[in-house]
Amino acid sequence: MLNDKYDLCSDTVTLDYLELIKTAKVAVRYSLEALNQRMKKWYDIKPKLTNLDAEWLLNDAQALATATTALHYLTEGLSREEIIVVRATEKE
């Protein structure tokens, strides 16, 4: 149950580190599947890659790169004595 893994109070938030790793693994699988599906569709249907197809492939590849990077750092974090999580501001 998710309520056992996370807690959101008025001043603090508690995150389960292993659940974060599981979430990153799901993101990797989802991104990889999206990229594979798009490439398969491109190979099966279109003889040429259009600009829009290339843009979607790039977006899928970037999502996969982001997910695998997050998974790598989260997994490597398991061997560290201290884990620091910061709240970064979103880019506008």
pLDDT tens string 58-70 = 999 999 999 999 9
Is the confidence at residue 77, as pLDDT, over 60?
yes
Considering the domain boundaries, does residue 9 fall inside one?
A: no
d(CA 80, CA 73): 11
Considering the domain boundaries, does residue 30 fall inside one?
A: yes
Considering the domain boundaries, does residue 1 fall inside one?
A: no
Domain count across the chain: 1
Considering the domain boundaries, does residue 83 fall inside one?
A: no
Cβ contacts of 34 within 8 Å, gap of 6 or more: 60, 63
Percent over 70 (pLDDT), the chain? 85
**CATH code, 36:** 1.10.287
Is the confidence at residue 25, as pLDDT, over 90?
yes
Considering the domain boundaries, does residue 4 fall inside one?
A: no
pLDDT confidence of residue 27: 97
Considering the domain boundaries, does residue 42 fall inside one?
A: yes
| Tokens describing residue 16 | 């389960």
Domain that holds residue 46: 17-77
d(CA 67, CA 25): 8
Q: Which pairs from 52-61 meet CB under 8 Å and 24+ separation?
A: 60/31, 60/34, 60/35, 61/35
Considering the domain boundaries, does residue 27 fall inside one?
A: yes
Q: What backbone torsions phi and psi does residue 70 show, to the nearest 5 degrees?
A: -60, -45
Q: What is the pLDDT of residues 27-63, one digit of tens each?
A: 999 999 999 998 888 777 766 667 777 788 899 999 9
Asked if residues 38 and 56 have their Cβ atoms less than 8 Å apart, the reply is yes
Considering the domain boundaries, does residue 88 fall inside one?
A: no
